[in-house]
Amino acid sequence: MTPLLTSDAQAALSRRDFVKRTGALIVAFSAARVATELGLAPESVSAQGINGVGSPQLDSWIAIGADGRVTAYTGKCELGTGLYTAQLQLVAEELSVPLDRVTLVQCDTSRTPDQGTTSGAQSHPTNFNHANLALACATAREALVELASKKLGVPTDQLTAADGAVSHRSNGSQRVGYGELIGGNRFNLQLDKNARRKPASEWKILGTSVPRVDFPAIVTGRFEYVHNVRVPGMLHGRVVRPPALGSTLVKVDDGSVQGMPGLVRVVVRKNFVGVVADKAWQAEQAARRLKVEWTAGRQVPDQRTYYQHLRSQSTTRQALTVDSGDVDKMLAGAAKVLRSTYYHPFQMHASVGTACAVADVQATRATIYSATQAVWPLRNTMATMLGLKPEDVRIAFRMGSGCYGVNGADTVSYDAALLSQAVGRPVRVWLSRQDEMAWENYGPAFVIEQRVGLDASGTIVAWDYEGWSISLGGRPGYNAPGNVVTGYLAGFQPQGVMPRAPAPPPMNFDNGSNTAPSYITGTVGNRSGGCGVVQSERALSHTIESPFFTGPLRSPARLQNTFAHECFMDEIAASLKADPVEYRVRHLRDPRLREVVTAAAQKAGWDRRPSPRNGNSTRRNGVASGRGMACVLYEGDNGYCALVADVDVNLSTGLVTVKRCVAAMDCGPISNPDGVQNQMEGGIIHGISRALREEVTWSGERVTSIDWKTYRPWFLGDQVPVIETVLINRPDAEAMGAGETTITVTAAAIGNAIFDATGVRVRQLPFTAERVKAVIDGRS
């Protein structure tokens, strides 16, 4: 069997057969109605479009054919993290059917329920579809047992569902297959929130390391990525982006490309410019030759002093995550106060493949094949862009290159659609490397200042956090196409920052961005949502408008904040000559966070002593070795993780080499242990790349990191550490995220290890050899 997962033909055939027999599709419902019917709080299904409105109808999720094959429909998509396979496991498990009898149709507005956005895949529990797809499967399994009871004349409590059939518990000859019970017919049932979900103790398929079902097709070049979608009559487009930030279009000289082979049309819409040709190479040639006049760009403040610029802004949007009201008083009365400032650069998604989409826009309807994380939201903004009704727009997901957040997938979908609309034929667009890197939605820069007060025994009695970050645009969501570059060029405004000061008091403790450190109580009202013991606490954030588009990048804000918290915690421990692990545990009250910290330290053979390592005995040939720890409860409630990193630092060059990483994680019940390990390892390597190398650069009015020489991530020839993982499985706990945990702590653990090795604290990322060397030499 070749699992060509995204094969339109296969899925469409199955769905068409089903629809023919059972009537219309049921995919769209109001959020409020779904919430009411499932007994959920409305915000739980509609928050920021992350979860979408779903569907209360069982037939929207599950169809069973006469042959017993199951087709499941999901609004959560595969982004390269293994979510497709994990969802197959979920369906097979809850429905008691063999894995190879399940087909999963993912993220297509014409077929699958609206589940909003697949963000932080494998990092958010909703993506595992525990709330709805699993509930649908459990509802279906119970319905099938009911049907079998009638058919066999046996009470339901004497029946059991397994292997795609219902049978008598003690008389196996009384058995009826799912296909015979329901095959081709609708269930006509609502999701039953009381349907019995299988506890992890009964799992046979979930909880096992099922290999990725898409890998055989991928490694043999048979897999259909969005880049491989081929539509009859398809033309090829290429965009012409402005030469500088803030440039607007003055004029396009169509004559400059007249007569070029294969050229179909030059397309202009406000500041959006592109060309369409018969072939990709012809479009590329024409885009290069097209003469376009633009206004001068807008200067971005000097990169060398950018953090000071960011820190000095007075017109900001403020937010308080927590404020006990007594922080200034406690700091004034503390035996000792420590203070530090940390700096995190702009970084980019820098997907290995540039973004691509295929659009077929006709006068009254449109189909767009897109690698977006958000098919339903994109349907709405696409309709706005094209002047169509949302119901006349179909967005069909096809996997792209790994995205790690809002890369170019949405913007290129607009590019392809605008060009297709202009020529009335299907158009494929892939971006040039430069166009992708110069205009993507970067992960934002941060400046983070912290102070703590210590009592005479060295215990932290007050923690004060103040952070400055920046924002422009982001996910387009359901109504903001201007949040990415194409929408902006076509005339839509990005969501900027509305200044607001002072910050309103927090209504509840929401640590979704990990703004608050793990060591505070996180007390708002009567509830303490933090992991720690420090009662005097304040976390104040400032956001200003960015000169570049920004957006979610793997572990958005959580990585930046955790870098600052966990390095600062290490500084505090060092100032007291305390062991960094013991000192952490002393300020933590959440037993699960304490456990991952202890487990990682134990596995790593952590040597109890203060940092830095004393003496020169470990310094061979001018190389110093050290180890560092960092931990986090990701998003404040979505995955416990601790990491120990061992590094070598070359004292004469400043070059940092990560030798070994030991990560411990607790994400509740584990759906696929090897899949989780793969995510943990990938997060560490991605984290090393970001910590040691990555930084968006600019000069004047232009971004200058525009290819793999000027923005150099970790290549396969670069030295990688030995990675060891500890998985703490909690079968009875709620599922938590796993995909963005290790990357959140990697930079901090490395920074702490550099300190342990050298005795110098580097407070700015990335830890390039030049920067580390300068700090060692006392030059910064």
Partner 1 sequence: MSVINLRVNGQARTVDVDPATPLLYVLTDDLALNGPKFGCGLGQCGACTVIVKGEAVRSCSTPVQAVAGAEIITLEGLGSPENLHPLQQAFIDGQALQCGFCISGVIMTAKTLLDRTPNATDTQIRQAMSNVLCRCGAHVRMLAAIKKYQQQRQDRRTA
3-class secondary structure, 500: strand
Instruction: For residue 682, state whether it binds partner 1 (rule: CB under 8 A).
Output: yes
Taking the complex as a whole, the smallest distance from the CB of residue 81 to partner 1 amounts, in Å, to: 6
**Which amino acid is residue 135, in one-letter code?**
L
Taking the complex as a whole, the smallest distance from the CB of residue 280 to partner 1 amounts, in Å, to: 5
Instruction: For residue 369, state whether it binds partner 1 (rule: CB under 8 A).
Output: no
Give the x-and-dash track for 373-402 against partner 1 (CB under 8 A).
--------------------------xxxx
Region binding partner 1 by CB under 8 A among candidate stretches 215-223, 562-570, 579-587, 643-651: 215-223
DSSP result, 451-489: EEEE-TTS-EEEEEEEEEEEE-----TTT-GGGSHHHHH
Give me the count of residues in the chain: 780
DSSP result, 571-616: HHHHHTT--HHHHHHHTB--HHHHHHHHHHHHHHT----PSSPPSS
Residue 606: CA atoms inside 13 Å, Cβ hemisphere, count? 27
| CB-nearer residue toward partner 1: 136 or 427 | 427
| CB-nearer residue toward partner 1: 146 or 707 | 707
| CB-nearer residue toward partner 1: 274 or 580 | 274
Taking the complex as a whole, the smallest distance from the CB of residue 717 to partner 1 amounts, in Å, to: 3
| CB-nearer residue toward partner 1: 151 or 281 | 281
Total binding residues toward partner 1, as defined by CB under 8 A = 68
| CB-nearer residue toward partner 1: 81 or 560 | 81
Instruction: For residue 223, state whether it binds partner 1 (rule: CB under 8 A).
Output: yes
Give the x-and-dash track for 485-524 against partner 1 (CB under 8 A).
----------------------------------------
Query: According to the 3-state scheme, what is the secondary structure of 290-344?
Result: CEEEECCCCCCCCHHHHHHHHHCCCCCEEEEEEECCCHHHHHHCCCEEEEEEEEE
Which parts of 277-306 interact with partner 1 (CB under 8 A)?
279-282
| CB-nearer residue toward partner 1: 41 or 716 | 716
Instruction: For residue 261, state whether it binds partner 1 (rule: CB under 8 A).
Output: yes
Taking the complex as a whole, the smallest distance from the CB of residue 287 to partner 1 amounts, in Å, to: 12
Angstrom distance (rounded) from CA 679 to CA 289:
43
Angstrom distance (rounded) from CA 184 to CA 68:
9
How many C-beta neighbours within 10 Å does residue 665 have? 28
Q: Tokens for 230? A: 């081929």
Which secondary structure element, helix H or strand E, spans residue 181, and what is its range?
helix 178-182
Instruction: For residue 456, state whether it binds partner 1 (rule: CB under 8 A).
Output: no
State which of residues 9, 24, 41, 219 lies at the interface with partner 1 (CB under 8 A): 219
Residue with token string 């500088």: 244
Taking the complex as a whole, the smallest distance from the CB of residue 91 to partner 1 amounts, in Å, to: 21
Taking the complex as a whole, the smallest distance from the CB of residue 709 to partner 1 amounts, in Å, to: 7
| CB-nearer residue toward partner 1: 46 or 122 | 122
| CB-nearer residue toward partner 1: 216 or 512 | 216
Instruction: For residue 686, state whether it binds partner 1 (rule: CB under 8 A).
Output: yes
| CB-nearer residue toward partner 1: 106 or 758 | 106
Distances (CA, A) of 618 to 400, 621, 712, 722: 46, 10, 31, 20
Taking the complex as a whole, the smallest distance from the CB of residue 163 to partner 1 amounts, in Å, to: 25
Main-chain dihedrals φ then ψ at residue 721, nearest 5 degrees? -80, 165
State which of residues 674, 697, 702, 730 lies at the interface with partner 1 (CB under 8 A): 674
Degrees to nearest 5, angle at CA 354 with 350 and 360: 140
Angstrom distance (rounded) from CA 704 to CA 437:
9
User: Which residue, among 573, 570, 574, 551, has the nearest Cα to 562 in the 3D structure?
Assistant: 570
Taking the complex as a whole, the smallest distance from the CB of residue 375 to partner 1 amounts, in Å, to: 18
Region binding partner 1 by CB under 8 A among candidate stretches 212-220, 313-321, 630-638, 646-654: 212-220
Taking the complex as a whole, the smallest distance from the CB of residue 279 to partner 1 amounts, in Å, to: 7
DSSP result, 731-779: TTSPP---TTHHHHHHHHHHHHHHHHHHS----BSS--HHHHHHHHTT-
Angstrom distance (rounded) from CA 159 to CA 163:
13
State which of residues 111, 130, 227, 265 lies at the interface with partner 1 (CB under 8 A): 227
State which of residues 101, 141, 236, 565 lies at the interface with partner 1 (CB under 8 A): 236
Taking the complex as a whole, the smallest distance from the CB of residue 221 to partner 1 amounts, in Å, to: 3
State which of residues 207, 242, 517, 683 lies at the interface with partner 1 (CB under 8 A): 683
State which of residues 684, 691, 735, 754 lies at the interface with partner 1 (CB under 8 A): 684
| CB-nearer residue toward partner 1: 281 or 312 | 281
Which parts of 77-116 interact with partner 1 (CB under 8 A)?
79-82
Measured N-to-C along each axis, helices 133-152 and 83-95 cross at an angle, to the nearest 10 degrees, of 30
Main-chain dihedrals φ then ψ at residue 431, nearest 5 degrees? -80, 155
State which of residues 245, 356, 406, 749 lies at the interface with partner 1 (CB under 8 A): 356
Which parts of 429-448 interact with partner 1 (CB under 8 A)?
430, 432-433
Instruction: For residue 594, state whether it binds partner 1 (rule: CB under 8 A).
Output: no
Angstrom distance (rounded) from CA 593 to CA 595:
5
Give the x-and-dash track for 38-77 against partner 1 (CB under 8 A).
----------------------------------------
Which parts of 321-350 interact with partner 1 (CB under 8 A)?
350
**Nearby residues of 202 by Cβ (< 8 Å), 6 or more positions away:** none
Taking the complex as a whole, the smallest distance from the CB of residue 235 to partner 1 amounts, in Å, to: 11
**Contact indicator for 644, 611 with CB cutoff of 8 Å:** no
Neighbour-count burial of 410, counting CB atoms closer than 10 A to its CB (0-12 exposed, 13-18 middle, 19+ buried): buried
Angstrom distance (rounded) from CA 305 to CA 312:
11
Angstrom distance (rounded) from CA 441 to CA 429:
19
Residue 282: CA atoms inside 13 Å, Cβ hemisphere, count? 17
Which parts of 701-730 interact with partner 1 (CB under 8 A)?
707-709, 713-720, 723
| CB-nearer residue toward partner 1: 1 or 363 | 1
Taking the complex as a whole, the smallest distance from the CB of residue 567 to partner 1 amounts, in Å, to: 22
Taking the complex as a whole, the smallest distance from the CB of residue 714 to partner 1 amounts, in Å, to: 7
**Contact indicator for 277, 264 with CB cutoff of 8 Å:** yes
> What pairs with residue 347 in β-bridges?
443
User: Which residue, among 457, 358, 455, has the nearest Cα to 413 in the 3D structure?
Assistant: 358
Angstrom distance (rounded) from CA 6 to CA 17:
18
State which of residues 221, 232, 259, 591 lies at the interface with partner 1 (CB under 8 A): 221
| CB-nearer residue toward partner 1: 5 or 485 | 5
> What pairs with residue 143 in β-bridges?
none
Taking the complex as a whole, the smallest distance from the CB of residue 620 to partner 1 amounts, in Å, to: 20
Instruction: For residue 665, state whether it binds partner 1 (rule: CB under 8 A).
Output: no
Instruction: For residue 150, state whether it binds partner 1 (rule: CB under 8 A).
Output: no
Interface residues with partner 1 (CB under 8 A) are: 1-3, 79-82, 211-212, 214-225, 227-228, 230, 236, 261, 279-282, 350-354, 356, 399-402, 404, 430, 432-433, 674-675, 678-679, 681-687, 689, 707-709, 713-720, 723
